[in-house]
Amino acid sequence: MNTQQMEQMGQFRITVWEEENFQGKRCEFMLECQNIMERGFHKIRSIKVENGPWVGYEYPEFQGQQFILEKGDYPRYEAWSGNSSYRTEHLLSFRPIKCANHSDSKVTLYECEDFQGRKFELCDDYPSLQAMGWCSKEVPSIKINSECSWSFLWVAYQFPGYRGYQYILERDRHQGEYRCYNEYSTQAHTNQVQSIRRIQH
């Protein structure tokens, strides 16, 4: 089944509002939106995800800080940004993510860029990488490993407990290979990663 067929079957569905608490102009999407302003909106300030997951972006064209949007309600920016030290009160673009419904994906962390140095393989969620044996607050490169053709999705966080900057790591982007931290996101300013979790659709 290709992406278009999945979307036609309602695999992805999101409703966005221009104001907080599901007020103001609203629109429902089953496909990506590269720039909500082209739809007559000034911004997105609240969201309901019926089927996902999705990634929301601070700027048009999937640029800027990114936020994972799983099934549920997001009445205000705190709901999608969590305890992030980066305050993003609105989103301007978003896209659905195809990801597997099973767990044969692994992620490998590397001590240095370009997959060099000591490595650490994970296949589960880790609220604290240091508590599980990773001896640094930094992860200079990451590789998503899977023999499945589906996309596997992990979210890496700047701080323990899934807090701080979010980095959406997909197998079908960069072929699952993130050779240096600035490939984690267009807004990645640091290679600090201290927690990581899987997203399963």
Confidence class for position 1, pLDDT limits 50, 70, 90: very low
Domain count along the chain: 2
Cross-sheet strand order for the sheet of 13-19: 23-29, 13-19, 46-51, 72-74
Is 21 part of any domain? yes
* Torsion sign across C-alpha atoms 83, 179, 148, 3: positive
Contact assessment for residue 12 and residue 51, using Cβ atoms and an 8 Å cutoff: yes
Confidence class for position 98, pLDDT limits 50, 70, 90: confident
∠ CA(124), CA(3), CA(71), 5° rounding?
A: 50
Per-residue model confidence as pLDDT tens digits over 7-54: 444 589 999 999 999 999 999 999 999 999 999 999 999 999 998 889
Whether 5 shows a pLDDT value over 50: the answer reads no
pLDDT reported for residue 65: 86
Is 3 part of any domain? no
Domain span at 110: 106-198
Contact assessment for residue 154 and residue 194, using Cβ atoms and an 8 Å cutoff: no
What is the Cα–Cα distance from 105 to 145, expressed in whole angstroms?
Answer: 6
Q: Collect all residues with Cβ–Cβ distance below 8 Å to 48 and sequence separation of at least 6.
A: 14, 15, 22, 72, 73, 74
Q: For position 92, which CATH number holds? A: 2.60.20.10
Most confident range, picked from 12-26, 89-103, 141-155, 179-193: 12-26
Whole-prediction pTM: 0.78
Per-residue model confidence as pLDDT tens digits over 133-143: 898 999 999 99
Is 1 part of any domain? no
Regarding whether 120 and 56 lie in a shared domain, the answer is no
